[in-house]
Amino acid sequence: MYSFDPTEEQQMLMDAVKKYAENDLRPAAHEAEETSELPKKLVNKGWELGLLQASIPESYGGFGERSAVTGALAIEEMAFGDLAGTLAVMTPSLFATPILLAGSEEQKKEYLPKIVAGEWSPFTAALIEYTFDFDPNELRTTATLQGDHYILNGEKAFVPFARGAESILVYANLDGQSQAFIVGKETEGLSIGEEREKLMSLNALQMYRVKLENVKVSVANRLGGASGCDFDMLLASMRIANAATAVGVANAAFEYSMNYAKEREAFGVKIAQKQAIAFMLAEMRTEIEAMRLLTWSAAWKLDQGREDAANEAYLASTGAADMAMMVTDRAVQILGGHGYIRDHPVEMWMRNGRGFAMFTGLAII
Amino acid sequence: MPIEFEAPKPITNAQFVLKTVAEEMMRPKSRYFDEHEHEIPWDYIEFMHNAMKAMGGSSLAPKENGNGNDTEKEKRPPIGYQLIAAQLEALSWGDVGMYHCLPGGGLGAAAVHSAGTAEQRAKFLSRFSGDKPTFAAMCITEAGAGSDNSAIRTRAVLDEKTNEWVINGEKIFVTGGDKSFTEYEKLGRGFIVVWASIDPSAGRAGMRAFVVEGGTPGVRVVKLEHKMGIRVSDTAAISLVDARVPFENIMGSPTVEKNMSGFKKAMATFDATRPLVAATGVGVARAALEFLKEKLAESGVQIRYGLPRQKLTSIERDVIDMEIQLRSAWLMVIKATWMADNKKPNALEASMSKVKSGDVTTRITQKVVEILGPLGYSREFLAEKWFRDAKITDIYEGTGQINRLVVARQILGYSGAELR
Ligand SMILES: Cc1cc2nc3c(=O)[nH]c(=O)nc-3n(C[C@H](O)[C@H](O)[C@H](O)COP(=O)(O)OP(=O)(O)OC[C@H]3O[C@@H](n4cnc5c(N)ncnc54)[C@H](O)[C@@H]3O)c2cc1C
Ligand SMILES: Cc1cc2nc3c(=O)[nH]c(=O)nc-3n(C[C@H](O)[C@H](O)[C@H](O)COP(=O)(O)OP(=O)(O)OC[C@H]3O[C@@H](n4cnc5c(N)ncnc54)[C@H](O)[C@@H]3O)c2cc1C
């Protein structure tokens, strides 16, 4: 059957996340972006909503079951509040979710209970590299097997909360395949940039460059152990998260500019009464819906273990990135000169909007 | 039911069967009928009539529960409109012009289904499961009234002596108007649903739809249009001069109320039919995209999915973009019809699906012809035909602009007066 209704439980979760997004994340977003600081309390409050915890079974200290659909629904709502805040709240998932999905039994036992117990704690992952044509399937960071160890070499970019992270899940190229390796903070050869990354947006999210020079990782610390992990499936989960957050940000920009257009007067009418504005809004709404559905479909396929899930996740992520750029650009346009001024959030969303073409790896559901 | 994208069995079954129909009965004739405008595809019509009878279906209007003779129907939510959308998509993949030649009522029957009374439904819709293929059509548009259908000039006046409506006016662009009205040996008696005003001073509130039986005296098909595409589908101009119609053929109240409930009910037909028209566009676009991919594969061009944009060739980018758009347009059709099936108000989703399909089907077919170069432009292949066929998706059943207006009014909470 086709069906488009979230379950009651999903709806309750979405409502709770939406409340946090509107009452906490959104009001803090501007200052966070301007000062490059996210209040710890804010992040903790988001953490307490329990998105990650609810995706982990009781046997590992959580209280639920992982569902990509639920994850996509929730993270869209959160990104509607603020993207940087969302990525910060969800950073521990970058480490925990791959362990849950592809880790060995020992890895799950060792890390999951620790991460989900208590407060938000910095566990993270490093996927992105600093090249113009970055391709998660052709990583330049390498892993080579030497006896009972892997040796990692390379450099990673945009690693959230790398400074202070207990452990980092590092993605590297092992014989042409992308695989992941657990690297503890004290490991020799691991160095984390002193300075935070400076990007066009996401100022509030601490991100760092991470260098790996002959970093030794035991076979037991390869994600999934000696047999490794299904990277395609992990990448699909990241792409769905990317698509869902793109939809959330686009929806924020759409709603804000629509409300503005209903208030702003020019030439004796509300500008929303002009077709040039109304048609933009209609198209924004339509394209948001299109990419939301494609994201849901990819998530559903992933949950079902469908063969075409990875491809649909790629389509959703690519399409949602385009859509978010288009929608956020128009939102600024609808506010006219005021859209260009940082007092309104639309220009930040537009800066976010361009990022979804390369944000894959900053979130996972 | 949680969020789910599993196509129900009746839909996958229909898609399977109709793919064969499309391949065997439609595609081989596509070019012929494109080049022989106004010839009627009798073999196809008769085949489809018998096939539909065998399958227990007969018209665009969904069966009450949409599950046919399925004994498990009680347990399932209705899927009537979703099933029709899937059928139309599959047929339009074959040939969207020939889909319009599908006997069984089309938009005319859909109007009776959604705006008629139980007696009217019984009286007018039973004919489609008769021995002969039978058609019905919808006549709103006039030369001076297209998008703005409140400007129609066709009038209906009650003759109290005979208790008949007397209708005068000229309708244009009636899809299937000829097959629905003209009496052909091989066809059952059809009807046209004619929109007319019973009180010109009342504007929209005075507009009503009337069922006019095939062959009614005073009514004539005066012209068949020559078109850019969907040439096998007849597009008729119909004149009505003192055409007499029984009193009970009016849909909605015979008197004018202030609240326009009659008009609104009739317009609600569009909430059901817009996603279906959107589905036909998706079918054409899918045909074109699949053809492109076949031709590329034959030439050894592979599409490397999963790569970042920066590494893709221009063709790969285009193909991937087209897939994103096609897939999401289809999901919008499914959602809009799912809402209709579940009696959820879907005016917004219905119009959004039509906006999206109108955009996507025109863009994809245009891109496919471009990428295929001489092969795309040549009449040896069907790509150029699909390019011509696709364009109508963005014009009828509300142009792209009119559907944007509907979407905008819905999201802004504006009336027609606030945003026109
Ligand atoms: C960085 C910057 C520098 C500037 N420098 C100067 C300066 O030196 N001197 C100066 O005087 N001004 C300056 N401006 C102001 C600038 O010219 C205005 O912002 C611009 O004219 C738009 O007006 P607005 O911002 O009030 O938008 P609005 O007029 O409120 O427009 C909002 C939206 O509605 C649309 N819209 C408005 N009317 C219609 C209509 N009839 N039909 C369809 N759409 C419509 C607009 O296109 C826009 O998308 C500057 C602005 C900025 C951001
Ligand atoms: C092949 C074919 C089959 C058809 N089948 C049927 C049928 O079966 N029954 C039937 O009744 N009709 C049918 N039609 C008619 C069709 O619905 C109309 O052509 C359509 O509604 C547009 O009306 P129009 O052609 O008069 O264009 P117009 O209304 O004159 O529109 C011209 C342009 O102006 C734009 N426009 C109009 N109003 C606005 C506005 N308020 N804001 C912004 N832009 C606007 C339109 O979008 C369009 O781009 C058919 C048409 C064709 C071509």
Burial of A65 (0-12, 13-18, 19+ CB in 10 A): exposed
Banded pLDDT at B114 (limits 50, 70, 90): confident
Q: Answer positive or negative: Cα dihedral of A150, A155, A160, A162.
A: positive
**B102 against B105, higher pLDDT:** B102
Residue nearest to ligand 2 atom 24, measured at CA: B146
The ligand with the least distance to the CA atom of B274 is 2
Helix A309-335 and helix A346-355: axis angle, to 10°? 150
DSSP state of B142: B
Nearest CA distance, B125 vs chain A (angstrom): 28
Whether the per-residue pLDDT at B61 is higher than 60: the answer is: no
Which residues have CB under 6 Å of ligand 2? A 275; B 107, 137-141, 146-147, 173-175, 227, 235, 392, 395-396, 399, 401-402, 405, 420
Give which of B2, B41, B14, B61 is closest to B340, Cα–Cα.
B61
- Give the amino acid at A353: G
Under an 8 A CB cutoff, do B349 and A6 touch? no
pLDDT score of B262 more than 60? yes
How far does the centroid of ligand 1 lie from the alpha carbon of residue A335, in Å? 8
Q: Tell how far the Cα of A278 is from the centroid of ligand 2, in angstroms.
A: 20
CA distance A341 to B318: 35
Nearest CA in chain B to A262: B412
Ligand 1: nearest atom to the Cα of A276: 43
Per-residue pLDDT at A327 exceeds 60 = yes
- Single-letter residue type at B412: L
Confidence of residue B266 (pLDDT cuts 50, 70, 90): low
Give the nearest partner residue to B323 out of A6, A293, A315, using CB atoms: A315
For residue B64, the model assigns a pLDDT of: 47
CB atoms inside a 10 Å sphere around CB B359: 20
CB-based contact B333:B278 (threshold 8 Å): yes
Span A231-264, pLDDT tens digits: 999 999 999 999 999 999 999 999 999 999 999 9
Could you tell me if B177 and B137 are in contact, meaning their C-beta atoms sit under 8 angstroms apart? Answer: yes
pLDDT at B107: 82
CA B338 to chain centre: 17
Measured in Å, residue B143 CA sits from the centre of ligand 2 at 10
Measure CA A251 to chain center.
Answer: 16
Q: pLDDT band at residue B67, thresholds of 50, 70 and 90?
A: very low
Percentage above 70 pLDDT, chain B: 93
Burial bucket for residue A216 (CB in 10 Å: 0-12, 13-18, 19+) = middle
pLDDT at A23 over 80: yes
Burial class (CB in 10 A: 0-12, 13-18, 19+), A226: exposed
% of chain B with per-residue pLDDT over 90: 83
Question: Which residues on adjacent β-strands are paired with residue B238?
Answer: B171, B221
Catalytic residue of the set B46, B294, B397, B418: B397
* Interface size between A and B, measured as CB pairs under 8 A: 147
Q: Residue range B407-414: average pLDDT?
A: 98
Contacts for B77 with CB less than 8 Å, ≥ 6 apart = A1, A3, B1, B341, B342
Min distance A159 CA to chain B CA atoms (Å): 19
pLDDT one-digit tens code per residue, A244-253: 999 999 999 9
Cβ atoms of A335 and A257 within 8 Å: the answer is yes
Give the rounded distance of the alpha carbon of B394 from its chain centre.
12
Calculate the alpha carbon distances from A46 to A22, A78, A250, B306, B341 in Å: 12, 9, 21, 32, 38
Segment A113-142 shows an average pLDDT of 96
Coil vs helix vs strand at B210: strand
Supply the pLDDT for residue B62: 58
Does the beta carbon of B332 lie under 8 angstroms from any beta carbon of chain A? yes
pLDDT digits (tens, 9 = 90+) for A58-100: 999 999 999 999 999 999 999 999 999 999 999 999 999 999 9
Predicted confidence band at B269 (pLDDT cuts at 50, 70, 90)?
confident
Cα B66 to Cα A123: distance, rounded to the nearest angstrom: 51
pLDDT above 80 for B69 = no
Residue in A4, A311, A315 closest to B335 by CB: A4
Q: What is the mean pLDDT of residues B115-119?
A: 90
The rounded distance, in Å, linking the Cα atoms of A107 and A227 is: 13
Name residue B393's amino acid: T
> Strand B155-159 to strand A142-146: parallel, antiparallel, or no bridges (unpaired)?
unpaired
A346 vs A29: CA distance, rounded Å: 12
Q: Is B269 exposed, middle or buried (0-12, 13-18, 19+ CB in 10 A)?
A: buried
Closest chain A residue to B354 measured between Cα atoms? A286
* Percent of chain A predicted with pLDDT > 70: 100
Calculate how far, in angstroms, residue B408's C-alpha sits from the geometric centre of ligand 1: 22
Work out the average pLDDT over A298-320. Answer: 98
Residue A219 token pair: 């076979």
Is the separation of the CB atoms in B225 and B178 below 8 Å? Answer: no
ipTM of the complex: 0.96
Tokens of A227: 């047999």
Closest Cα in chain B, distance from residue A32 (Å):
31
Is A172 within 8 Å of A145 (Cβ atoms)?
A: no
Q: Is residue B226 exposed (0-12), middle (13-18) or buried (19+ Cβ within 10 Å)? A: exposed
Residue A336: C-alpha distances to residues A260, A268, A332, A345 (Å)? 10, 17, 6, 13
Ligand 1 mutation pick, A258, A265, A271, max ligand atoms within 8 A of CB: A271
Residue A164 binned pLDDT confidence (cut-offs 50, 70, 90): very high
For residues B223-227, average pLDDT? 98
Supply the pLDDT for residue B102: 94
Identify which of A151, A145, A158, A226 has the alpha carbon closest to the alpha carbon of residue A190. A151
pTM of the model: 0.96
Active site residue B74: no
Q: pLDDT tens, B312-370?
A: 999 999 999 999 999 999 999 999 999 999 999 999 999 999 999 999 999 999 999 99
Q: CB distance B2–A310 less than 8 Å?
A: no
